[in-house]
Structure 1
Amino acid sequence: MNTTALIRPAWTPATIALMVVGFMVFWPLGLAMLAYILWGDRLDGFKRSVNTEGFFRNCGKNSRSKHYGFNRTGNVAFDDWRSAELERIEEERRKLDEARDEFDAYVRELRRAKDQEEFDRFMNNRKPRSDAGSSSTEIRDPGL
Structure 2
Amino acid sequence: MPETVSPTPTEQTCWLPRHQKSPRAARQELRDFLLPHPSAEFILPTGELLVSELVTNAIQHARAPHDRLIFVRFQLSPDPTLRIEVHDADSEKPTLRDAPASASDEAGRGLLLVQELATQWGCCPRKGGIGKFVWCHVSPEAAAA
Normalised by the length of structure 2, the TM-score is: 0.21
Q: Which has the higher contact order (CA 8 A, sep 6+)?
A: 2
Structure of higher CA gyration radius:
1
Could you say which structure has the higher helix fraction? 1
Q: Comparing both structures, which one devotes a greater share of its residues to strand?
A: 2
